[in-house]
Amino acid sequence: MSAQVPVCNHRIYEVLIVFLVSVIAGLTAGVLLAAFGMSPLAAVGAGGATIAGCFGLGMSAVSYIKKQES
């Protein structure tokens, strides 16, 4: 007898990958802006905004791709 293979749908992995990419992008943006002479507080703020923006866009893309698969 052949049994169906269970399909694992682990949404946490998708969220974790998007979060980690967002953090890397935010840290990179903050360091680059600080290196180009922006004040440290403004660079941290821009990095935080980059994290939030990347995470929002990334999760929108993941949900769009998942919707297309079903």
* pTM of the predicted protein model: 0.82
Domain extents in the chain: 11-69
| Residue at 35: amino acid letter | A
CB count in 10 Å sphere of residue 54? 19
Helices assigned H by DSSP within the chain: 11-35, 40-69
Q: What is the largest CA-CA distance in the chain?
A: 68
- Residue 27: what pLDDT? 96
Per-residue pLDDT reduced to its tens digit, 51-69: 999 999 999 999 998 888 7
Q: Let me know: does 18 contact 53? Beta carbons within 8 Å.
A: no
